[in-house]
Amino acid sequence: MTDTKTNPQGAIAAFMTRSFDGAKIEPDQDIFEAGYGNSMFAMQLVAFVESHFGLDIEAEDLEIDNFRSINRVAALVARKQAMAAA
């Protein structure tokens, strides 16, 4: 998990690429608009963020905008890490 702090975007991109059969996802690409997310992916993304970054996704984080793109997920992670450190 060496990239957890230095390159969260990279880790999230790699997870999404793995989940979407090798598709290359742009950092700001809307994955839902592009039709990538399926019913199982939603909780897999939560499980990934929680297990990879050691965070808890909570009710207040449940905004579709938080999960729309690599950069949005990275921003959520950064916010949660900052809150945890505070």
Partner 1 sequence: MTVQTTPDHTRWDSLAQEVIAPLAAQIDQDARVPQQVIMALRQAGAFASGFPGGPATDQAEALSASLDHGQMHQALGAASASVQGVLNVHHMGGSALAKWSSKAQRSQWMPRVLSGEICCAIAMTEPEVGSDISAVQTQARPVSGGYELTGQKAWITCGDFADLFVLIAKTEAGPTAFLLPKQTKGLRIAPIEGLLGCRGYMMANLHLEAAYLPEDHLLGRPGFGASHVAVTGLEAGRLNLAWGCVGLADAACTLALRRAKTRQQFGKPIGDFQLVQQMLARMATDIHAARLMCQSAATARALRQMDAAKQATMAKYFASQMVGRVTRDAQQIFGAEGIGPNTPMALFHRDSRIMEVIEGTTQVLESMIARLSLSEVHLS
Binding site for partner 1 (CB under 8 A): 18-19, 21-22, 39-40, 42-44, 46-48, 50-52, 58-60, 62-64
Q: Would you give the DSSP letter of residue 69?
A: S
Question: Judged by CB, which is closer to partner 1: 55, or 74?
Answer: 55
Comparing CB distances to partner 1, the nearer of 29 and 41 is 41
* Least CB distance to partner 1 at residue 16 (A): 11
For Cα atoms 77, 72, 76, give the angle at the middle one, nearest 5 degrees: 25
**Closest CB 7 distance from partner 1, rounded Å:** 18
Binning the chain into helix, strand and coil, the percentages to the nearest 5 are 65, 0, 35
Least CB distance to partner 1 at residue 53 (A): 11
Task: Read off the tokens for 81.
Answer: 């890490």
**Which alpha helices (DSSP H) does 38-69 contain, by range?**
39-53
Q: Which is nearer to partner 1, 42 or 75 (CB)?
A: 42
